[in-house]
Amino acid sequence: MEPVRVGVPLPLTAAPQTGTEQHGMFGAHDSGDTSGFGGLVRGPYSPVPTERPYGGYFDEVADEMAAAMDRRGIPAVAIYQTTVAHREITFYVAREHLREMLWMVRDEPALRFELASSISGVDYGAGVPRRLHSVYHLTSMTWRRRIRLEVAVEVNDPHLPSAVEVYPTADWHEREAYDMFGLIYDGHPALTRILMPDDWEGFPQRKDYPLGGIPVEYKGAEIPPPDERRTYT
């Protein structure tokens, strides 16, 4: 069998990216934002593939993952990109292979990422293909190492497999990501809101969610838009 190559990206269209500049911190426009972030201009989001050697223990982990994928018959395209930034290594995983990848990194003796430290959501905003991401921060208590797996999905198809069967503590992590970002974890035992009221409409941490003017539950009050809250002189 041909060895599995980890970190070799698919064509660029497979990776989430955009050629459009992003303005402002929160994606708000024409709101009179007084936070100071309204004038911020950022380059397009495009996670750049990292070439080997990655440095530190990252190369050893990548090699062990490649060997384990080979043994388990997981195709190379299960990981379509590897990025090292801010002293973290991120493996971008295809949604359809997520569950088997989680079982692998947890159970393989040379990997043993036994703890899901955090499962969080990210919204990279309008104009970014597959803008919603589910990020898995995994820790090996055995080898004292950390990695991240990241899965990207479309807003109109935000489904991905639940990790609860592999990491039971994923239960409430996934409920938070569902509640805030609208990520739907198929197979979760009880995917209900955990922070907002059950009948709340929308997902508050998405970039297109309004900044103000949202009725406050239980109080009968309303949060005004940012430009009406406070004046800075």
What is the distance between the alpha carbons of residues 163 and 99, in angstroms, rounded to a whole number?
A: 7
7 pLDDT tier (thresholds 50, 70, 90): very low
137-184 pLDDT, tens per residue? 999 999 999 999 999 999 999 999 999 999 999 999 999 999 999 999
Q: Max CA-CA distance within the chain?
A: 68
Within 10 angstroms of residue 78's Cβ, the number of other Cβ atoms is: 22
Closest CA to 35 of 211, 218, 161, 222: 211
CA distance 133 to 150: 7
Q: Are 150 and 144 in contact (CB under 8 A)?
A: no
Task: Please give the domain boundaries of the chain with CATH numbers for all domains.
Answer: 12-229 (3.30.460.80)
Model pTM above 0.85: no
In this structure, is the dihedral angle defined by the CA atoms of residues 158, 217, 209 and 91, taken in order, positive or negative?
A: negative
How far apart CA 21 and CA 127 sit, in angstroms, is 9
